[in-house]
Amino acid sequence: MPRFFARCSAALAVIFGMGLGIASAALPAEVDGQPLPSLAPILEQVTPAVVNVHTRTRVQVRTSPFFDDPFFRRFFDMPAIPRERVQQSLGSGVIVDGEKGLILTNNHVIDGADDIAVTLQDGREYSAELVGADRDTDLAVIRIESGDLHELPLSDSDRLRVGDFVVAVGNPFGLGQTVTSGIVSALGRSGLRGLEYQNFIQTDASINPGNSGGALIDLAGRLVGINTAIFTPSGGNVGIGFAIPASTALHVMGQLVEFGEVRRGSLGVAVQDMTGDLREALGVSDRQGAVITQVREGSALEQAGLRPGDVITRIDRRPVSNAQDLRNIEGLLAVGATVEVTYLRNGEAATATVTIAEDLDARISGRRLDERLDGVVLVRIPDRSLAQGALIEEVRRGSAAWDVGLRAGDVIVAVNRHGVRTLGELRGRFPVATDRELSLEIRRRGVAYLVLL
């Protein structure tokens, strides 16, 4: 038996010795006079522009759910003495303008955060301020004050093809900067829940939690996308990741920097996908297109003569295959732009040239009505609903509106005791003198409340 252990020990010594020898050996710089391919030179230029974004959100914890309702507290004159729990999250970002300190990231990375901090590749850490965010595309812009910043400007993602090699750079799981590679698996992907505008780049480059907001680059080191999400039935990476195209990010970022929000134009139509039954009923042979189901009065396409039953097939040379395609294109149309819309009617093709207008009676930020409503987003109540008023879609944490108790899902039915049946009527009640109290009557789950700002 001792002899057996001695032989095993000797064998293990040889194996480990071989292993150490292999581990310590370096790959040659070239083979047969030809240098080995490497991404290192490109990454040396790219990685300094990819940052770690970490946030803190203070969540109030109370012993009773009634304490979460500011109206309940005010009615019973109950002081707010909350306990706080601090939630932390990690993500990534890309410096896209070094001179101005602008960083592009995902909205879900910073959404609701009380504090945002950025750590650069060289270890420098800065507090960041929110410039603007857009939930519909899951993009946000933050700013830091610093000199000597590397930047990675957005490139033309429209040149990407399925099969192109790409590299993802980010900070997964808080491990620090990590690089993974793969190819473009598909283009124009949609179907992710929670986002209005979807035109994703699909890639098999590993994207994991913490990669959100990081860079997707091509082999020339150009920023072609912002990593956003993964498809994961098991919670781990299965080789299906999604990135927002740089062309979309460039448009959204410009709006956020200029206005602090995205101001979108509208064609003024509701559409649905083409089906076999609809093709037969409408007398068209095309299998693709967006079928108009409703045309809003006074909209750009209503003035151009389009009507329900027409099938939109193209907008400014961009094909429209389905309803999602039309929404994606519409979401990137600049207010005031002139576009050519190609459509089918009774199987015959026709075109209309229209000027894109902003439909403020469909969606508007509260700040454009009154500074006291900063942080609130108001939208039209869906036509199929029997409710009247203006629907609050979003309320930013920490805003004056949040502090007095306004929440997403509330419906404003009166302003300063004047009833409003639509968002358009609510707009007509502004401006309100700033030295005058702003009184809002809202409905929440069938109960009426009065909010004073």
Confirm if 247 and 156 have CB atoms less than 8 A apart.
yes
Please, are residues 213 and 109 in contact by the beta-carbon 8 Å criterion? Answer: yes
How far apart CA 453 and CA 450 sit, in angstroms, is 10
Task: State the pLDDT confidence band at 224, using cuts at 50, 70 and 90.
Answer: very high
CA distance linking residue 87 with residue 152, whole number of Å: 30
The active-site residue, picked from 97, 138, 359, 361, is 138
Could you tell me the CATH number of the domain that includes residue 179?
Answer: 2.40.10.120
pLDDT at 60 exceeding the cut of 70? no
Res. 421 pLDDT band, cuts 50 70 90: very high
283 and 221, same structural domain? Answer: no
Q: Single out the residue in 260, 283, 306 at which a domain terminates.
A: 260
Active site (annotated) includes residue 212:
yes
3 located within any domain: no
Instruction: Provide the residue type at 2 as one letter.
Output: P
Please tell me the distance from the alpha carbon of residue 241 to that of residue 231, in angstroms, as a whole number: 6
Check whether residue 141 and residue 273 sit in a common domain.
Answer: no
Per-residue confidence (pLDDT) for residue 80, from 0 to 100: 54
Average pLDDT for 6-27: 41
Is the same domain home to 371 and 280?
no
Poorest-pLDDT segment among 127-136, 156-165, 282-291: 282-291
* pLDDT average, residue stretch 68-95: 69
127 as an active site residue: the answer is no
Q: Which of 307, 337, 355 is the last residue of a domain?
A: 355
Residue 108 annotated among the catalytic residues of the structure: yes
Do 378 and 334 fall within a single domain?
A: no
Question: Chain-wide mean pLDDT for the chain?
Answer: 83
Do the domain assignments include residue 17? no
| Active-site position among 212, 247, 266, 299 | 212
Burial class of 67 by CB neighbour count within 10 A (0 to 12, 13 to 18, 19+): middle
- Select which of 54, 108, 218, 266 is catalytic: 108
Give the integer Cα–Cα distance in Å for 389 and 412.
5
Looking at the 3D structure of the chain, how many domains does it have?
A: 3
Q: How far apart are the first and last CA of the chain?
A: 87
| Range 189-213 average pLDDT | 81
CB atoms within 10 A of CB 316: 12
pTM for the model stands at 0.78
SS3 of residue 93 by DSSP: strand
pLDDT at 268: 87
Show which of 332, 355, 378 is a domain's final residue. 355
Beta strands in 205-310 (DSSP E): 215-218, 223-230, 241-245, 269-273, 290-295
Give me 144's structure tokens.
């830091």
| Residue 331 maps to a domain | yes
* Domain, as residue range, for 373: 363-452
Assigned token pair, 255 = 């709006």
* Range 353-375 average pLDDT: 89
Q: C-alpha distances in angstroms, 120 versus 72, 243, 292? A: 45, 22, 48
Which residue did the predictor score with more confidence, 429 or 282? 429
Q: How far apart are CA 74 and CA 405, in angstroms?
A: 11
DSSP 324-373: HHHHHHHHTPPTT-EEEEEEEETTEEEEEEEE-B--TTTEEEGGGT-GGG
User: What is the reported pLDDT for 357?
Assistant: 85
Q: How far is CA 428 from the centre of its chain?
A: 31
Q: What's the CA gap between 193 and 22, in Å, rounded? A: 48
Burial class (CB in 10 A: 0-12, 13-18, 19+), 100: middle
Residue 243 shares a structural domain with residue 307: no
Can you tell me the mean pLDDT for 223-249? 82
pLDDT at position 13 is 41
Model confidence pLDDT, tens digit, residues 170-188: 888 777 788 999 999 999 8
